Structure 1
């Protein structure tokens, strides 16, 4: 009887770690969503300006797969 009562009063944190990781993951997801909403337009403008200023076109390599006719 004493052993049974002792086992019932002990707390076993079996799922505690998983719950904590879930909460951390949820907080990171919320932070990412907020960051995208706050900085999304600004980052889009920076990227568009960067691409618009340079000549980033790939070289003309011919047909897809190359020209193997000799």
Structure 2
């Protein structure tokens, strides 16, 4: 399911950022090389996460609208 995919990606992003943090203090030259990639991954992850959240919110609103059509209150 998409929830598991999102959780796996979040874990991978977290591990990558922890690696970057460790590199910042142990090997600054490697950190400088990987930082732009990390920024890109974070931006991409934020974008994909936002799209996922919007799609789930849209589904919820759509289901509520269908439920109201089926059960009109007098």
Please report the TM-score for the alignment, with normalisation by the length of structure 1. Answer: 0.45
The structure whose Rg is larger is 1
Please report the TM-score for the alignment, with normalisation by the length of structure 2. Answer: 0.43
Answer 1 or 2: higher relative contact order, Cα 8 Å, separation at least 6: 2
